[in-house]
Amino acid sequence: MQKLKDKVAVVTGGGSGIGLGIAKAFAAEGAQVIITGRNRVTLDKAVVEIGFNTVGLQGDVSNLADLSEIYSTVAKKFGRLDVLVANAGVYVIGPLTSFTEEMFDKVSDINFKGTFFTVQKALPVLNDGASIILVSSTVNGKGIPNHAAYAATKAATRSLARSFSAELIDRRIRVNALTPGPVHTPLFNTVTSSAEEAEAMAENMGNFTPVKRLGTPEEIASAALYLASDESSFMLGSEILLDGGLRDL
């Protein structure tokens, strides 16, 4: 029995990395999946890679008009939304002494503002009893140099899971945080200047974890599938931490 049979799911930032892994898992379990992202080419490639039950809608989560258009399309095509994964995010890091206002606005607008309004704008189309998954990061509870603004946005995301759950409980909408550690995704390419530097950074991040490796999108997707399904029906306002022991060991 497929865990998400006949469910309609939106995964923001679903064109690559963790979002793509989640979208693949959801589609394999019977969901109609809508992935969103800013890059049309990346979305089209992801739709082909997933292979079935998938639609790609272009949009920027920090742009409220884009979000409204995405959910309007979902409502017209599918009539409802059963699962929402607020995964879209950017990895902007740098020393406190040289962190610019532009960098701060970029990471805040997408990771915090984008997550907040991704949920708010979805409310009219979300089914009662729906599941919302907010993708945070293990740095939401750990101090790491050069990560102050990024970590703060991910701590805000974790906080939103609690507050949203309390506010939406009358509709039986569950909101939980999915909190990965370092995962092998194209993210490292966004903060390095070459493929070699990206691979070196990924290796160093993996060695920083007690298990001495990066996580995989498939491992994170397995947890997302649990949160999306009825198996987690007693879980709300909470957090699943998958970080190779990074935070606690």
Q: Which helix (H) or strand (E) holds 23?
A: helix 17-28
Report pTM.
0.96
What's the CA gap between 21 and 219, in Å, rounded? 9
Residues of the chain with pLDDT > 90, as a percent, come to 89
Single-letter amino acid code for the residue at 136: S
What's the CA gap between 24 and 77, in Å, rounded? 20
204 CB-contact burial (10 Å; exposed 0-12 / middle 13-18 / buried 19+): exposed
Please compute Rg for the chain using Cα positions: 17
- List beta partners, residue 177: 134, 239
Does residue 150 carry a catalytic annotation? Answer: yes
**Among candidates 168, 187, 186, 249, which has minimal Cα distance to 212?**
249
Task: Report the pLDDT value the prediction gives residue 102, as an integer from 0 to 100.
Answer: 98
Task: Report the pLDDT value the prediction gives residue 194, as an integer from 0 to 100.
Answer: 87
Question: Which of residues 203 and 223 earns the better pLDDT score?
Answer: 223
Residue among 71, 91, 150, 226 flagged as catalytic: 150
Contact indicator for 151, 139 with CB cutoff of 8 Å: yes
Q: Pull the structure tokens for residue 60.
A: 């920027």
What's the CA gap between 204 and 194, in Å, rounded? 15
Task: Report the pLDDT value the prediction gives residue 201, as an integer from 0 to 100.
Answer: 87
Convert the pLDDT of each residue in 97-149 to its tens digit.
999 999 999 999 999 999 999 999 999 999 999 999 999 999 999 999 999 99
Q: How large is the average pLDDT for residues 59-73?
A: 98
Convert the pLDDT of each residue in 204-231 to its tens digit.
889 989 999 999 999 999 999 999 999 9
Collapsed DSSP state (helix, strand, coil) of residue 31: coil
